[in-house]
Amino acid sequence: EDQVTQSPEALRLQEGESSSLNCSYTVSGLRGLFWYRQDPGKGPEFLFTLYSAGEEKEKERLKATLTKKESFLHITAPKPEDSATYLCAVRSTGTASKLTFGTGTRLQVTL
Amino acid sequence: EPEVTQTPSHQVTQMGQEVILRCVPISNHLYFYWYRQILGQKVEFLVSFYNNEISEKSEIFDDQFSVERPDGSNFTLKIRSTKLEDSAMYFCASSVLRDTQYFGPGTRLTVL
């Protein structure tokens, strides 16, 4: 069974204070690892897809990296508008198309 | 930018009643999905749909649930006889291939 574990559960940063969120996964074979952002009461908003170890993707202040066992979402010089829950999900070779999600990291960025 | 839309945004129903949640996926997408998120918990997969049939479903998706693509644009989730534990946010998603899934804003279902 596919498993996704995210840490920390919650993170509070000051504006400009860079940090990383972790996503550890256990799958039979990885078909894709996905990062989403979720605001309260809203649907997950797609950020990145990573397919193989060593791959990196970047968008504004966010950078996602992937190893064989985990992924990191690096946030550089965050702003208050980056406050949200960040979700990690995997699609494995053991399934047709379903995504298995972690519980997310709740990020709060203060002035 | 194209997006997935869902209606209604909030549905309140009595236990035992049938509900239909509606979704309009992104127009050139071929795969459609339903997920749910109980308050404070993780997003959970319910079902995927391709070429007018279910391609995968979870243990949650029992006989009380069904999906349909009644026309070229809508994708629906029906719950035949709602239970208290069906209260959750229901998200529709779509993808071009079995790849990046784009989610709608969700329907909050409250079962009383």
pLDDT in tens, B56-98: 999 999 999 999 998 888 999 999 999 999 999 999 999 998 7
Torsion, Cα A3 A8 A12 A14, to 10 degrees, reads -100
Each residue's pLDDT tens digit, B67-77 = 999 888 899 99
Interatomic CA distance for residues A40 and B66, integer angstroms: 28
Looking at residue A7, what is its pLDDT?
A: 98
A105: exposed, middle or buried (Cβ count in 10 Å: 0-12, 13-18, 19+)? buried
Indicate if the pLDDT at residue B1 is higher than 90: no
Chain B CA closest to residue A49? B100
pLDDT of residue A77: 97
Contact A100, A26 (CB under 8 A): no
Q: Which two tokens stand for residue A32?
A: 């894709």
Contacts of A99 in chain B (CB under 8 A): 35, 43, 45, 101
pLDDT in tens, A35-56: 999 999 999 999 999 999 999 9
CA-to-CA distance for B66 and B80, rounded, in angstroms?
Answer: 8
The answer to whether residue A6 scores a pLDDT higher than 90 is yes
Position B45 pLDDT exceeds 90:
yes
Query: Within a 13 Å sphere around the CA of B63, how many CA atoms are in the beta-carbon half?
Result: 0
Contact list, B50 vs chain A (CB under 8 Å): 97
Inter-chain touch B105–A42, beta carbons under 8 Å? yes
Chain A positions touching B42 (Cβ under 8 A) are 101-104
In which band, very low, low, confident or very high, does the pLDDT at B2 lie, cut at 50, 70 and 90? Answer: confident
Identify the pLDDT of residue A73.
98
pLDDT value at B99 more than 90: no
Token code pair at residue B44? 């959970």
Q: Is A35 on the interface with B (CB under 8 A)?
A: no
Q: Is the predicted pLDDT of residue B46 greater than 90, yes or no?
A: yes
Q: What is the pLDDT of residue B91?
A: 98
User: Is residue A46 within 8 angstroms of chain B, CB to CB?
Assistant: yes
Any idea which residue has 């508008």 for tokens? A81
Strands B88-95 and B107-111: antiparallel
What's the pLDDT score for residue A102? Answer: 98
Q: What is the mean pLDDT of chain B?
A: 96
Cis peptide bond N-terminal to B70, omega within 30: no
Q: Give contacts of A98 with chain B, Cβ < 8 Å.
A: 33, 45, 48, 56, 58
Q: Give the residue among A21, A19, A16 at the shortest CA–CA distance from A77.
A: A16
Instruction: Spell B66-87 as b/e; 16+ CB within 10 A means b.
Output: ebebeeeeebebebeebeeebb
**Per residue, what are the HEC states of A83-97?**
CEEEEEEEEECCCCC
pLDDT band at B20 (very low <50, low <70, confident <90, very high): very high
Return the pLDDT at B72: 81
